């Protein structure tokens, strides 16, 4: 019997499991019950909600519901709280920075030149996302160097918080082939010209980022390099981002 057939039986055909003084007796010792409903069984949402389940999160192919059983404070973790984005500071040997103008969004038609930016995909490392976004938007191949800084903001995308990482990349190619769907224009621009834009001067956060990039170019700032490692319990491959001034006996091949 599949889990979904069993769910149908429990919710729709076996009400004695759910109703009355013996409610949830089959789950003694459990505090939380999760139901992962595939999209083809969406009709089971209503009977589940009537039995006390509520939405936890949704993905394109399923809906996750949960029910907290005891009459105590609910300790079930909330859904994902943050979205992660990157901005790519790509600087060549002539101190020219790779910049773009966007076709849509808040920068459309403003004439503002900005760093390539984008959202980190699910399961994607920050360093890989920066390389990918630069390639997608400009056609330039680049190598991740460091995370220079990051910013946290709240009530951003669907009321979720946002983490934005400013990444420094080294260009491996220089010819630009812009993404026509999203990018109006792309070019290599002297960094001083980028930093002198009124839009950059008029926004405190962008001034901070510009100052950090300038300090990095002058050798007065050190960011966080990616160090491959593994997690403590699951032994999954992961990256630790650490200050480049620290030296360890671990592997030092960056992302």
| Pairing status of strand 160-171 against strand 142-157 | antiparallel
Distances (CA, A) of 92 to 31, 95, 218: 57, 5, 13
Contact between residue 64 and residue 57 where contact means Cβ atoms under 8 Å apart? yes
User: Which among 254, 235, 234 has a CA at the least distance from the CA of 244?
Assistant: 254
d(CA 84, CA 50): 35
Instruction: Look up 136 and say whether it is catalytic.
Output: yes
| Pairing status of strand 160-171 against strand 82-90 | parallel
Q: Which residue in 46, 93, 136, 146 is the catalytic one?
A: 136
DSSP structural state of residue 73? -
User: Which among 195, 212, 166 has a CA at the least distance from the CA of 96?
Assistant: 195
Taking 3-state DSSP, the helix, strand and coil percentages for the chain, each rounded to the nearest 5, stand at 25, 35, 40
Q: Active-site residues: which are they?
A: 136
């Amino acid at each position: 019997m599949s889990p979904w057939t069993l769910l149908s039986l429990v919710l729709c055909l076996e009400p004695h499991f759910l109703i009355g003084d013996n409610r949830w007796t089959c789950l003694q010792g459990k505090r939380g019950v999760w139901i992962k409903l595939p999209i083809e069984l969406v009709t089971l949402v209503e009977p589940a909600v009537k039995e006390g389940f509520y939405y936890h999160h949704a993905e394109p192919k399923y809906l996750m519901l949960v029910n907290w059983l005891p009459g105590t404070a609910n300790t079930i973790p909330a859904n994902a709280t943050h979205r992660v984005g990157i901005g790519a500071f790509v600087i060549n040997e002539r101190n020219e920075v790779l910049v773009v103008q966007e076709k849509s969004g808040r920068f459309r038609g403003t004439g503002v030149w900005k760093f390539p930016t984008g959202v980190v995909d699910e399961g994607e490392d920050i360093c890989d996302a920066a390389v990918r976004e630069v390639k997608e938007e400009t056609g330039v191949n680049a190598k991740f160097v460091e995370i220079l800084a990051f910013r946290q903001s709240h009530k951003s995308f669907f009321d979720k918080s946002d983490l934005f990482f400013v990444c420094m990349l080294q260009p491996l190619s220089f010819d630009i082939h812009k993404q026509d769907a999203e990018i109006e224009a792309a070019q290599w621009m002297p960094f001083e010209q980028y930093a002198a834009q009124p839009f950059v001067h008029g926004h405190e956060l962008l001034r901070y980022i510009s100052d950090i990039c300038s300090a990095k170019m002058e050798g007065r700032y050190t960011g966080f390099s990616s160090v491959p490692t593994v997690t403590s319990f699951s032994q999954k491959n992961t990256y630790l981002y650490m200050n480049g001034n620290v030296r360890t006996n671990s592997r030092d091949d960056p992302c």
